[in-house]
Amino acid sequence: MKVNILGTEYTVSVTNEGNEPRLNNMDGFCDETSKEIVAENYQTKIDSDSKKNLLLQTKKVLRHEIVHAFLFESGLAENSEWAQNEEMVDWIAMQGPKLMKAWQEAGAL
């Protein structure tokens, strides 16, 4: 799948470590050098410690990595402290859908 990030095309994939070794010990990643966004497909490794709704978790990871891509494409990959703050990236990833809904309801888009 392709997604447009500020005019740059990124490839998005949901896969597992067997297919993508760079997922080793990671839930996902954004590689701004190759324009790739990759998220773990948790549904291929369900175990007794798994969360119940793994699709929701995968979607949250995808949103998180897409936020990184927006920041990278904004020129904030290396020299911005706030743009590399994982807590901030997570907040946007988690609250983004609610922001979008509130903006739509308010006619702010």
For the chain, helix, strand, coil in percent to 5 are 45, 20, 35
Q: Name which of 56 and 102 has its Cβ closer to Zn ion.
A: 56
**Cβ 71 vs Cβ 77: under 8 Å:** yes
Assigned token pair, 103: 């903006």
Nearest to 61 by CA among 33, 38, 84: 38
Q: How far apart are CA 65 and CA 73, in angstroms?
A: 12
Q: Between 41 and 65, whose beta carbon lies closer to Zn ion?
A: 65
Site string for Zn ion, 34-73 (x = CB under 5 A): ----------------------------------------
Give how many residues touch Zn ion by CB under 5 A: 2
Minimum CB distance to Zn ion smaller for 41 or for 60? 60
Residues 66-105 that bind Zn ion (CB under 5 A): 86, 89
Applying CB under 5 A, the residues found at the interface with Zn ion are 86, 89
